[in-house]
Copies of this chain bind each other. A is one copy, B any other.
């Protein structure tokens, strides 16, 4: 079965759009999906940005929020201009890495994005994350403690370094590792899936 990697950052608005549909789309295309959460922060910092480019470049930021509103409406997705922006998704990403190992990363990722951009919650708040975990019948306290383990921290750091090494500069990104084809942006998901299915 062909494979697609979905690289996303929990603070990224366009990653929300992809996170809510990528599993269904991949299944419909008979493509195996690998969830790859990472942190855009260090990648932005290496480009000289101390916050999201949507905050630095005002016209681009205004456009992004309106674009998201239109796209979410067209897809029947709730959408709120969650504040602050960008949010600190560090703990969410660490939890997601545990979920990748234990098999609940998909529903957890959707729950966190829905809390943030659907309901306007702040995902740096551990009680918000605990709610997302509890809704999946997971042991929130144990997992939040586990997320602070050095091994988990190292894993997220390594995943973010891997993103940089593989040429990822924004989120969401879709990677077809077979022949290293990178696709950036929610609007490239269909093209990425088609590429993954192409005969080698």
A168 to B66, CA, bound (A): 13
Contact: B67 with A184, CB < 8 Å?
Answer: yes
Q: Which of B62, B184, B187 contacts A167 (CB 8 A)?
A: B62
Contact: A182 with B47, CB < 8 Å?
Answer: no
Number of copies: 2
Which residues of chain A (149-200) have a CB below 8 Å from chain B? 164, 167-170, 181-185, 187-188, 191, 195
Report how many residues on chain A are interfacial, defined by Cβ distance under 8 Å: 23
Contacts of A167 in B (CB 8 A): 59, 62-63
Contacts of A188 in B (CB 8 A): 67, 187
Contact: A182 with B57, CB < 8 Å?
Answer: no
Contacts of A181 in B (CB 8 A): 66, 70
With both chains docked as a complex, state the minimum distance between the C-beta of A161 and any C-beta of chain B, in angstroms. 14
Which residues of chain A (45-81) have a CB below 8 Å from chain B? 47, 57, 59-60, 62-63, 66-67, 70
Residues of A within 8 A of B (CB): 47, 57, 59-60, 62-63, 66-67, 70, 164, 167-170, 181-185, 187-188, 191, 195
